């Protein structure tokens, strides 16, 4: 329970609200809910920095345009998002202005999180806004991001944002008050979990088959978000957005919702990015000895343990490290060589590298500082 009490020390907070909470199919942006949310956030903002991640652009756009239902075609969804996003922001602006809070719109795409320069740029912009006393209001840039390359849901997006800005806490406000051992609507023995220390298969089982039950994401994407956030050292809470003073009470240590404990070691910002933000550009197959050296002994990856190279990548890309024996991806890292050169030094001893490449370079394929065990 100690961890909950420490929530009072949270200085940088990311709050995510789902479409179900701030919009309704009939009217789009729900003014009353948005005003309540603004008041709740304003109440906890003293001495804290808050980032709001909001869904609801598409629902609001659909209502505005009188489309009579969520469009199927991607361009229509994107058009609806464009209309809805500005309407939604306008409501937030009005609501936060009552509390003297300036807001700023930040629309992110998956590439902003995966491309290193853009990632750093997004981070700098968000932290500058916070420093200036602005409340960033974040959504995915639905208007330009097509389905295949999207983060896809704001649960995962908010976890990326929390990691991006080194938040102390991520709160997902939704229409249920936490993670249950079974569906409370069907099973009277269902019990709410107060705390989850590790996202085990047992925990994952709790949400299988229930994906999509709520809004876009449902519990499955919330667990994915918990996985990302906690692995980045950021605790996460799933709580009901209809609970009165939910944020203030959470920050006072009340056992509201389900708390996901952070993994003890806070990964360095770069390691986080390596682990989660980018799809790997290739795969390195390594032998059992190299796997042990990396996973158990915290060593760097050397060419001698490398048995295969897959994909086209250049030095500096993120690659997956895979056990050639069982095909399991167990690490990711920033690679020091491009794919063609790695093919030449595969299996080589350190002293052979220069001879094989014809130039002097790194000893390690991936230095341990640029390596994350996943």
Interface with ligand GLU, residue 224, by CB under 6 A:
no
Q: Beta partners for 51?
A: 14
Q: Please identify, using beta-carbon distances, which residue of 142 and 323 lies nearer to ligand GLU.
A: 142
Helix, strand or coil for residue 265? coil
Pairing of strands 283-286, 306-310: antiparallel
Interface with ligand GLU, residue 154, by CB under 6 A:
yes
Residue nearest to ligand GLU (CB): 55
Alpha-carbon dihedral sign for residues 209, 172, 96, 164: negative
Site stretch for ligand GLU (CB under 6 A), options 52-60, 190-198, 270-278, 284-292: 52-60
Q: Please identify, using beta-carbon distances, which residue of 147 and 197 lies nearer to ligand GLU.
A: 147
CB 137 → ligand GLU: shortest distance, Å?
11
Site stretch for ligand GLU (CB under 6 A), options 40-48, 139-147, 246-254, 360-368: 139-147
Interface with ligand GLU, residue 235, by CB under 6 A:
no
Q: Beta partners for 286?
A: 306, 323
Q: Please identify, using beta-carbon distances, which residue of 81 and 251 lies nearer to ligand GLU.
A: 81
- Quick one: which of 174, 215, 258, 300 contacts ligand GLU (CB under 6 A)? 215
Interface with ligand GLU, residue 170, by CB under 6 A:
no
Interface with ligand GLU, residue 139, by CB under 6 A:
yes
Per DSSP, the residues of 137-202 read: EEEE-TTT--GGG---SHHHHHHHHHHHTT-SEEEEEESSSS-BSS-TTT-TT--B-SEESS--HH
Interface with ligand GLU, residue 19, by CB under 6 A:
yes
Q: Please identify, using beta-carbon distances, which residue of 154 and 258 lies nearer to ligand GLU.
A: 154
The answer to whether 229 and 150 are in contact (CB under 8 A) is no
Q: Please identify, using beta-carbon distances, which residue of 10 and 87 lies nearer to ligand GLU.
A: 87
Closest by CA position to 344, among listed 335, 353, 336: 353
Closest by CA position to 17, among listed 53, 49, 69: 53
- Quick one: which of 49, 55, 174, 232 contacts ligand GLU (CB under 6 A)? 55
Interface with ligand GLU, residue 30, by CB under 6 A:
no
Q: How many other C-beta atoms are found inside a 10 Å radius of the C-beta of residue 324?
A: 17
**Helix axes 31-44 and 74-97, enclosed angle (nearest 10):** 50
Q: Please identify, using beta-carbon distances, which residue of 49 and 154 lies nearer to ligand GLU.
A: 154
CB 60 → ligand GLU: shortest distance, Å?
8
Interface with ligand GLU, residue 218, by CB under 6 A:
no
* Residues 56 to 115 in contact with ligand GLU, rule: CB under 6 A: 56-59, 81
Long-range contact pairs involving 30-37 (C-beta distance under 8 Å, separation at least 24)? 31/91, 31/95, 33/241, 34/91, 34/92, 34/95, 35/95, 35/98, 37/95, 37/173, 37/241
Total of residues contacting ligand GLU (CB under 6 A): 16
Interface with ligand GLU, residue 217, by CB under 6 A:
yes
**Distance of alpha carbon 52 from alpha carbon 233, whole angstroms:** 19
Binding residues for ligand GLU (CB under 6 A): 18-19, 55-59, 81, 139-140, 142, 153-154, 215-217
């Amino acid at each position: 329970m100690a961890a909950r009490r420490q929530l009072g020390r949270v200085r940088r907070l990311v709050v995510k609200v789902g479409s179900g909470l701030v919009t309704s199919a009939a009217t789009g942006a729900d003014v009353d809910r948005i005003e309540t949310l603004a008041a709740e956030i304003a109440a906890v903002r003293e001495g804290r920095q808050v980032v709001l991640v909001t869904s609801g652009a598409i629902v609001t756009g659909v209502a505005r345009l009188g489309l009579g239902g969520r469009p199927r075609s991607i361009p229509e969804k994107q058009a609806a998002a464009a209309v809805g996003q500005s309407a939604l922001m306008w409501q937030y602006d009005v609501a936060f202005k009552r509390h003297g809070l300036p807001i700023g719109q930040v629309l992110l795409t998956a590439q902003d999180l995966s491309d290193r320069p853009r990632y750093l740029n997004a981070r700098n912009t968000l932290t500058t806004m916070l420093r200036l006393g602005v409340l960033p209001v974040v959504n995915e840039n639905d208007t330009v991001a097509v389905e295949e390359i999207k983060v896809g849901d704001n649960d995962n997006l908010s976890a990326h944002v929390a990691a991006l800005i080194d938040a102390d806490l991520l709160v997902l406000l939704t229409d249920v008050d936490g993670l249950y051992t079974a569906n409370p609507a069907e099973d009277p023995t269902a019990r709410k979990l107060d705390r989850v220390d590790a996202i085990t298969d047992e925990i994952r089982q709790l949400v299988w088959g229930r994906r999509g039950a709520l809004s876009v994401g449902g519990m499955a994407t919330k667990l994915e978000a918990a996985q990302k956030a906690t692995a980045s050292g950021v605790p996460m809470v799933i709580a009901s957005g209809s609970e009165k003073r939910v944020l203030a009470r959470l920050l006072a240590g009340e056992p509201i919702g389900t708390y996901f404990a952070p993994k003890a070691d806070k990964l360095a910002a770069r390691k986080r990015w390596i682990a989660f933000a980018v799809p790997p550009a290739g795969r390195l197959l390594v032998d059992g000895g190299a796997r042990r050296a990396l996973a158990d002994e915290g060593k760097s990856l050397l060419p001698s343990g490398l048995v295969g190279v897959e994909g086209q990548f250049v030095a500096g890309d993120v690659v997956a490290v895979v056990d050639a024996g069982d095909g399991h991806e167990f690490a990711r890292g920033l690679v020091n060589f491009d794919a063609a050169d790695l093919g030449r030094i595969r299996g080589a001893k350190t002293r052979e590298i220069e001879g094989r490449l014809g130039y002097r370079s790194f000893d390690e394929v991936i230095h341990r500082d640029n390596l994350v065990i996943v």
